[in-house]
Structure 1
Amino acid sequence: MARVPLSVLDLATVREGHSSTDALRSTVDIARTADDLGYARFWVAEHHNMPAVASTAPSTLIAAVAAQTARIRVGSGGVMLPNHMPFVVAEQFALLEALFPGRIDLGIGRAPGTDQATATALRGVSPHLTVEQFPSHLQTILALLSDTPDLSLRATPAPTSYPEIWMLGSSTYGAQVAAALGLPFCYAYHFAMSSDVDTALRLYREGFRPSPWRAEPHAMVSASVIAADTSEEAHFLAGPSRIMALSLRTGRLGPIVSPDDAAAREVSDLDRQILEQLPGTQFAGTAEEVVDGLDALVERTAADELIVAGTVYDPATRQDTLTRLMKAWTA
């Protein structure tokens, strides 16, 4: 059975008892594993002021990952555009593309990647760094990272190639923007488990307009996965992701706890209700069970690609999951 390409999304998660340096080094190690195994892309996120996430500056982390890998495409999942001036983003990714030609993806999102107070600290008092400016800023980046003959600004003086630009989203808004501009679209299903994925992808495909970037619609869907020898072990290893999901929704932020600590953690009835809707990890089981779940997701969404996330305590668990998954995916 021919299957769609698999990619990896990473947040450089910080676990209890370890530092941001440890987390970032682990991300590079995980990227090397993904490169060796044949994953198509390795994307890093942008989050701010979160004790469990060290990935605050995607362009910097992309440079570190790309320098330590050979083949895999490396990109942002994503750059949260309202936090940045578009010319700065375009220059950063033009530089990355010049350093690593044909390997850089620029995934762009509209969310702040943080709470409102931190977003205000990032943006200051600039009237130009607002969500309302997003459509025009996105179009500016598209012009800067293409052969636009009448543009007075240049993101790089002598480009030979440009990064691949993606629109990211967890709602129908991002899907409609991607369709109108003719961009590939990635739906964040791993933290937005709702029927919106079906509506969003339908609107994307129905409204798609061919562009210099894509002649036809191209959709990627994310999912969170953990694979192990047994289903019981996988669910035990997924414990930290459940605590992380709770912490994000309840404001009790902290580093990633161990599976033992997660298993011992008492949760309230309200917390259990939250976990029914946001389990932390969507597909936890043996590699074969995870592949069955991903096959069903592809059949449901008609995704052209999948990108897998996964909150775990030990980076070795993530590497083991990626190894098991790719072996079963290509069997």
Structure 2
Amino acid sequence: MLDLATVREDSTSADALADTTALARAADDLGFRRFWVAEHHNMTAVASTSPAVLIAHLAASTKNIRVGSGGVMLPNHPALVVAEQFAMLEALHPGRIDLGIGRAPGTDPATAAALRRTTDGLGAEQFPAELLDVLGLLGQSHPAHAPSALVRRFSATPAQGTTPEVWLLGSSTFSARLAAALGVRFAYAHHFGALQTLEAMAAYRAEFRPSPELAAPHAMVSASVLIADSAAEAAHLAGPSRVMAISLRTGRLGPIVSPDDAEGILAQLRGTAADELLASLPGTQIATTADRAVVELDKLVDETRADELLVTSTTYDVATRRTTLERLAAAWT
């Protein structure tokens, strides 16, 4: 499960984080393997700004489920800071921490510059080296790459026991090929980047090079899922996510609106340029009944040969997200 700690209308960040905590506990009780949180900044609809802090809370609030980042946006942070945070999380919760790393900033350019304290950011050419630094600082140096000066001088923790699982996240073949070259786990963001899903997953498997941490390729694919009693009800409950999608792309993102309000907003947009933009977006959301959702998810897993499936759900209230988890857990075999 991936959750964004979304903020609905007439609520607070505290409410959103409490909802995410309740959802993590539900996922733990239902037997889900992982619960991930994202990193977004300066967004009125998302309270998940600091994955490491939220992961510490969620891991302490659950018993068995692995908790991690989906992901930490490496352009925003020095490699040593990321490695220290997740080495400490792993020491606090051995065997339960995942470090998913992404290449996008997860915010607007001005906020990214404030986070990184630079105006030029972290380009594609620097990202592999910084990723190698994170791996090396966690004691996962790849034999094909000599340790950098940073890795030779520092360590993420004074007496390392276990190490977090590292995943490279992506929505392109660039990330897939880099994950393959470094021999790390790969998670493809199909829920918002469906154009290269099959190509990226195939490239990862074809080009994978074993590493001391991972002998064979291990891939995950994400899907946006919302389950209800009927397809019509699911479509109604999915309205807020459609409003959020268009708001993101028009720079007018606000708190998550209710399904009834979303229906009115979408009706007003019909025939406008915004409506055309929404219609042009890849239709990857699965909003339907449990039985039909399982059919569509089975197809996605078969086509991508994914080892794991990550589900996410943008809804107005946490009850709808919890219902989706419960019905998916009951229907999935």
Give TM-score scaled by structure 1 length: 0.94
Please give the alpha-carbon distance, in whole angstroms, between the structure 2 residues aligned to 1:181 and 1:56.
28
Does residue 272 of structure 1 match 2:265?
no
Q: How far is the alpha carbon of 1:147 from its aligned partner?
A: 6.0
Q: How far is the alpha carbon of 1:133 from its aligned partner?
A: 2.1
Does residue 59 of structure 1 match 2:52?
yes
Please give the alpha-carbon distance, in whole angstroms, between the structure 2 residues aligned to 1:102 and 1:193.
31
Shift of the 291–281 alpha-carbon distance from structure 1 to 2, 3 Å rule, reads same
Q: How far is the alpha carbon of 1:272 from its aligned partner?
A: 2.6
Q: How far is the alpha carbon of 1:52 from its aligned partner?
A: 0.3
Aligned mate of 2:61, from 55, 68, 72 = 68
Q: Which stretch has the larger CA shift, 133-142 or 100-109?
A: 133-142
| 1:109-150, Cα deviation, whole Å (9 max, x unpaired) | 000001112111211237785554211110011111126698
Aligned to 1:302: 305
Contact 2:140 2:213 in 1 (8 A): no
Does residue 118 of structure 1 match 2:111?
yes
Please give the alpha-carbon distance, in whole angstroms, between the structure 2 residues aligned to 1:281 and 1:173.
21
Shift of the 147–299 alpha-carbon distance from structure 1 to 2, 3 Å rule, reads closer
Counterpart secondary structure, 1:71: coil
Does residue 249 of structure 1 match 2:249?
yes
Q: How far is the alpha carbon of 1:281 from its aligned partner?
A: 6.3
Contact 1:241 1:280 in 2 (8 A): no
Shift of the 198–281 alpha-carbon distance from structure 1 to 2, 3 Å rule, reads closer
Aligned mate of 2:138, from 137, 145, 156 = 145
Question: In the TM superposition, what are the counterparts of 1:282-297 in structure 2 within 5 Å?
Answer: 282-297=285-300
Contact 1:245 1:279 in 2 (8 A): no
Give the residue type in structure 1 aligned to 2:165: E
Does residue 43 of structure 1 match 2:36?
yes
Question: In the TM superposition, what are the counterparts of 1:195-274 in structure 2 within 5 Å?
Answer: 196-265=196-265, 266-269=268-271, 270-274=273-277
Aligned to 1:322: 325
Aligned to 1:3: none
Q: How far is the alpha carbon of 1:276 from its aligned partner?
A: 2.5
| 1:50-94, Cα deviation, whole Å (9 max, x unpaired) | 000000000000001000000000000000001000001000000
Aligned to 1:170: 171
Counterpart secondary structure, 1:151: helix
Percent same amino acid among aligned pairs? 62
| 1:175-196, Cα deviation, whole Å (9 max, x unpaired) | 01100000110000001122x0
Please give the alpha-carbon distance, in whole angstroms, between the structure 2 residues aligned to 1:218 and 1:147.
17
Contact 1:241 1:281 in 2 (8 A): no
| 1:205-248, Cα deviation, whole Å (9 max, x unpaired) | 11100001211111100000000111111110000000000001
> Which ranges of structure 2 fall in alignment gaps of 5 or more residues?
142-146
Contact 1:178 1:204 in 2 (8 A): yes
Q: Which stretch has the larger CA shift, 299-308 or 145-154?
A: 145-154
Q: How far is the alpha carbon of 1:329 from its aligned partner?
A: 0.4
RMSD of equivalent CA atoms? 1.6
Give the residue type in structure 2 aligned to 1:237: L
Give the residue type in structure 2 aligned to 1:108: I
> Which ranges of structure 1 fall in alignment gaps of 5 or more residues?
1-7
Contact 2:113 2:121 in 1 (8 A): no
Counterpart secondary structure, 1:303: coil
Please give the alpha-carbon distance, in whole angstroms, between the structure 1 residues aligned to 2:62 and 2:222.
22
Shift of the 34–240 alpha-carbon distance from structure 1 to 2, 3 Å rule, reads same
Aligned to 2:144: none
Give the residue type in structure 2 aligned to 1:153: F
Q: Which stretch has the larger CA shift, 45-54 or 142-151?
A: 142-151
Give TM-score scaled by structure 2 length: 0.93
Shift of the 248–277 alpha-carbon distance from structure 1 to 2, 3 Å rule, reads same
Please give the alpha-carbon distance, in whole angstroms, between the structure 2 residues aligned to 1:147 and 1:44.
23
Q: How far is the alpha carbon of 1:13 from its aligned partner?
A: 0.2
Give the paired residue count: 322
